[in-house]
């Protein structure tokens, strides 16, 4: 089955700690995206990557970093510089014949201890 | 600029209809509609591209009015499974494009 997986489902971060959220896809999609969702709000774009070894900042990139060393993987690191990291993080991908459509993973909920 | 969705919330009884609107202050190339259940990932419903076409998916359809820079999602004969938050995402030119999502419309369908 093709799809997008995110891990872990829940993640706890201590003050001053960096944490990394995993996103893997086996859809052979070129583009991948990271969004942040706060309670009762829409999705805001953190970073996106259109191709391996290339990525661009989204609307709220401060305090986050990404890498795209493999086509199927797009991990997101929430650094200690992100002062309000508690949120639901969603990874998405798009590509193939249906380039326009973004498909989402199940999400990771990050909580600060 | 974030698209504006209206209404913010809708309460329906099973079998009733609803319309959710998505308006943008910028010219639109594409509008993407998603439904999200609480604590889950958004699920893709449909995409409308520049050209004013209308699409349908089961009893859910949508229209795209370029001149008004607006899209509307039509839910007919609603079912309990339609409950959730509906988001529109607006996109620029084609290909791997960045989407800007609205704040969402919460829909609750009761028996």
pLDDT band with cut points at 50, 70 and 90 for residue A83: confident
Which of B99, B100, B106 best probes binding to A when mutated, by most A CB atoms within 10 angstroms?
A: B99
pLDDT band with cut points at 50, 70 and 90 for residue B81: very high
pLDDT band with cut points at 50, 70 and 90 for residue B11: very high
A96 interfaces chain B, CB cutoff of 8 Å: no
A52 interfaces chain B, CB cutoff of 8 Å: no
Of A43, A88, A100, the CB nearest to B30: A100
Chain A residues inside the 8 Å CB shell of B97: 100
Strands A10-13 and A108-112: parallel
Residue B57, pLDDT score? 66
Is residue A5 predicted with pLDDT exceeding 90?
A: yes
Average pLDDT over residues B51-80: 84
- B37 or B50: whose pLDDT is higher? B37
Residue A51: closest CA among B93, B96, B99: B96
What whole-number percentage of chain B has pLDDT above 90?
60
Across the interface, do B89 and A48 touch by the CB < 8 Å criterion?
no
Place of tokens 């999400």: A107
CA distance A110 to A89: 7
Is residue B16 predicted with pLDDT exceeding 80?
A: yes
Residue of B nearest to A10 (CA): B39
pLDDT band with cut points at 50, 70 and 90 for residue B54: low
CA distance B30 to B91: 5
pLDDT band with cut points at 50, 70 and 90 for residue B23: very high
Q: Which of A27-31, A56-60, A73-77, B88-92 has the lowest mean pLDDT?
A: B88-92
Residue B55, pLDDT score? 63
Is residue B59 predicted with pLDDT exceeding 90?
A: no
Q: Which of A56-65, B26-35, B79-88 has the lowest mean pLDDT?
A: B26-35
User: Would you call the peptide bond into B94 cis, given omega within 30 degrees of 0 as the criterion?
Assistant: no
pLDDT band with cut points at 50, 70 and 90 for residue B67: confident
């Amino acid at each position: 089955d093709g799809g997008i997986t995110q891990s872990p489902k829940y993640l706890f971060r201590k003050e001053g700690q960096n944490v990394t959220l995993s996103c893997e896809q086996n859809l052979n999609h070129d583009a991948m995206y990271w969004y942040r969702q706060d309670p009762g709000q829409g999705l805001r774009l953190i970073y996106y990557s259109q191709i391996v070894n290339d990525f661009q900042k989204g609307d709220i990139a401060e305090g986050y970093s990404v890498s795209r060393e493999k086509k199927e993987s797009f991990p997101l690191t929430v650094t200690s510089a992100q002062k309000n990291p508690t949120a639901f993080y969603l990874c998405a991908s798009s590509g193939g014949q249906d380039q326009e459509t973004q498909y989402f993973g199940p999400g990771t909920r990050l909580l600060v201890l | 600029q974030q698209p504006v969705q209206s209404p913010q919330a809708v309460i329906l009884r099973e079998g009733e209809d609803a319309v959710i609107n998505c308006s943008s202050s910028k010219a639109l190339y594409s509008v993407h509609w998603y439904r999200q259940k609480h604590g889950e990932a958004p699920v893709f419903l449909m995409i409308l591209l520049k050209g004013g076409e209308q699409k349908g998916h089961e009893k859910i359809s949508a229209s795209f009015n370029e001149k008004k820079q607006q899209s509307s999602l039509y839910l007919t004969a609603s079912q309990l499974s339609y409950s959730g938050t509906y988001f529109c995402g607006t996109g620029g030119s084609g290909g791997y494009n960045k989407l800007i999502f609205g704040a969402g419309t919460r829909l609750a369908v009761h028996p």
